[in-house]
Amino acid sequence: MTNTPPTPLLEARDLHVEVNGKPILKGLSLTVNAGEVHAIMGPNGSGKSTLSHVVAGKPGYTVTGGSLLYRGQDLQALAPEERARAGIFLAFQYPLEIPGVNNVYLLKAALNAKRKHLGQPEVDAFEFLQLVRAKMQRMQMDEAFLSRGVNEGFSGGEKKRNEVLQMQILEPTLALLDETDSGLDIDALKVVSAGVNDLRSPDRAIVMVTHYQRLLDYIFPDFVHVLADGRILLSGGKELALELEARGYDWVRAQDAA
Amino acid sequence: MSMDNLRALGLPSGRDEAWKYAARTLSRRDWWATPTDALSLPEKAAIDAAVLPVEAPVLVFAGGHAVPRTLGGFGALPAGVSLRPLPEDAVKAPIGNSGEHRVAAIAAATTPGAWELAVAANVDAGTLQLLHLPAQGAGALVLRINLARGARLQLLESLADGESTPLTSSASANISTNSAANTAPATLTRWLQVHLADGASLTHAIVQQLPVDAALLEQLDVSVGRDATYLALPVSLGTQAAHTAAHLSLESPGAFGHWQQFLRVDGNQHTDVQLTVTHVAANTTSTQAVRALAGGRARGAFSGKVVMPPSAHGADSAQSIRNLLLSATAELDTRPQLEIHVDDVKASHGSTTGSLDQQALFYLRSRGIGEQEARRLLMQAFAADVIARLPWPSLREWLATRVLP
């Protein structure tokens, strides 16, 4: 009797994606299993953000070829909110400011949407507030943020902390971090990284999209992939990130062409 | 001007500046064949449906009649507040060929009787609800609101369907009850004159949720005295066609005049608002904010004119208009106008028109919020700063859950 490997959390096979009719991903293949942390690195314009957006279901991102599966299920059939409820979370590179939609309201509505999907009752108001307070302390956020509009008037660093706070509360199965390190000073980077590291678990996968190696000093990946020209050109362990830092992305391209 | 002459004059055409954006369907309605002298009583259910969820004494007007408490128009007035009929000759509408005051002229000519609501000096009357229901499909209300020196009032008006059915209780001779056969779309005419004496304060919310086949003509003439504050909070939701002309006159130094409107049109609704704020005196302040939502093939128009004559030294005015289009066929027209004849004043205005922010919509959905709910949240957020001005939390909640689709 052979052991069948568990179904991957995320599996892209020869994935082709167009944005506004322009091909961005051109045959990307990637397998992410539970318990793994992946870093997707690459030059600007390589398609890194497109990958995270297409997994989260952003309208306007069209799969034109290949397949994209989450726990064996075709993601294309699912609306963005259904993906979220099923455990996919995208931490935005540029989190939106939504004045007039209360921060704590969004947190609670998001958590309850997920609980409903799982057949669980709505979260108790008191327990919820305690949970949020604890997580906010962990993210070194001022409780005053709760009563404000979503990301309203937040600094770049505060927005990123808020993304990770949402992630801590929603406890996704597949967390996608889109350039979460961009715009962070070193102190904020440490706080945000610690918040992400909290979530490392055998049941969960984290996929970080980043341009710089810096983030990987704080969140250690199991796998590093180089995404360029819409494909994964090279995959390796943590040491690959250091090599990229030293030799640049052109080195990978040259190797791939060879 | 006689009724016949007025009828011959009809509603002004689109060539009249004040009616340029008004629904043309308004002129197809019969604004003259209105009320009988008889008071027709709306059904209790109609009254109940029109009452807004705010704890306050309620005054009921059916057509243009005040419905006495004994006949279902409930609520004793608080001390220091009075409601009395005005003698016929006390109400004279300024009539000219200009369309600016035409609504007042029609209301004065067709109303069964004018009323005065007064608050005595230095009385804080709290909140008063005023229901204005059409009766027998029509109604013309002429109401003066007088706040004496230092008086305060929060007036919450509800304009809603007053569709009536026969009332079986015996009533006095000049009271008739409505026929259930009456199904004509309602037409409502309103002329409100508001006078705030020195230091008085009126918060004036008008929640208009007339049926979508109804039509409304409305004129508000407001004069604000020294250090007095007028805050208008119109929430405009119903009618097929509505035209509002509002004239705010800041008569004495320190007067404040605010117009904070939420307007939603859908289907084939057409609403236009013509607001003029005149800073007659020095050191007067005004704000105008409009949040308008339009879907379907609906049209909405807001014209906000701010006039600062040479006497308006130190006047300050800020205007913010935001339009949200929910369909490609909806239309919202905005016309800010500044007429400034003096140097040392501040006058700002800004207006934006856009559709629902797709990025924000995706952000909310990516957190598990369903698309409809996400749209509702964004629409609520869009109107939030104006809705927040309503001083009754229960009404704000009611609006959030019921009024936004």
A9-56 residue pLDDT tens: 999 999 999 999 999 999 999 999 999 999 999 888 889 999 999 999
Question: What residues of A are in contact with residue B399 (Cβ under 8 Å)?
Answer: none
Sign of CA dihedral B61, B67, B68, B72: negative
For chain A, residues with pLDDT lower than 50 are: none
Q: Do B366 and A109 touch (CB under 8 A)?
A: no
Helix (H) or strand (E) holding B224: strand B215-224
Q: What is the pLDDT of residue B70?
A: 58
Residue A131 contacts B, CB cutoff 8 Å: no
B138 neighbors B187 (Cβ within 8 angstroms): yes
Residue A81 contacts B, CB cutoff 8 Å: yes
Q: Rounded to whole angstroms, how far apart are CA atoms B372 and A91?
A: 22
Q: Rounded to whole angstroms, how far apart are CA atoms A230 and A125?
A: 45
Q: What is the pLDDT of residue A219?
A: 94
Q: What is the pLDDT of residue B168?
A: 30
Kindly report, residue by residue over B215-251, the tens digit of the pLDDT. 999 999 999 999 999 999 999 999 999 999 999 999 9
Q: Do B364 and A98 touch (CB under 8 A)?
A: yes
CA-to-CA separations, A160 to A77, A213, B367, in angstroms, rounded: 29, 18, 15
Q: Find the chain B residues whose C-beta atoms sit closer than 8 A to any C-beta of A.
A: 357-360, 362-371, 373-374, 377-378, 380-385
**SS3 state of residue B85:** strand
Interface of A with B in 167-186 (CB under 8 A): 170
Q: Please state the three-class secondary structure of B96-138 as a single string.
A: CCCHHHHHHHHHHHHCCCEEEEEECCCCEEEEEEEEEECECCE
Residues above pLDDT 70, as percent of chain A: 98
Q: What is the pLDDT of residue A189?
A: 93
Please state whether B12 falls in left (phi above 0), alpha (psi between -120 and 50) or beta: beta
Residues in chain B: 405
B144 neighbors B86 (Cβ within 8 angstroms): yes
Distance from CA of B118 to the nearest CA of A (A): 37
Q: What is the pLDDT of residue B165?
A: 35
B105 neighbors B28 (Cβ within 8 angstroms): no
Q: What is the pLDDT of residue B110?
A: 87
Q: What is the pLDDT of residue A158?
A: 92
Confidence (pTM): 0.83
Q: Do A58 and B378 touch (CB under 8 A)?
A: no
Nearest CA in chain A to B375: A101
For chain B, residues with pLDDT lower than 50 are: 164-182
Question: What residues of A are in contact with residue B359 (Cβ under 8 Å)?
Answer: 96
Q: Rounded to whole angstroms, how far apart are CA atoms B296 and B267?
A: 5
| CB neighbour class for B114 (10 Å; exposed up to 12, middle 13-18, buried from 19) | buried
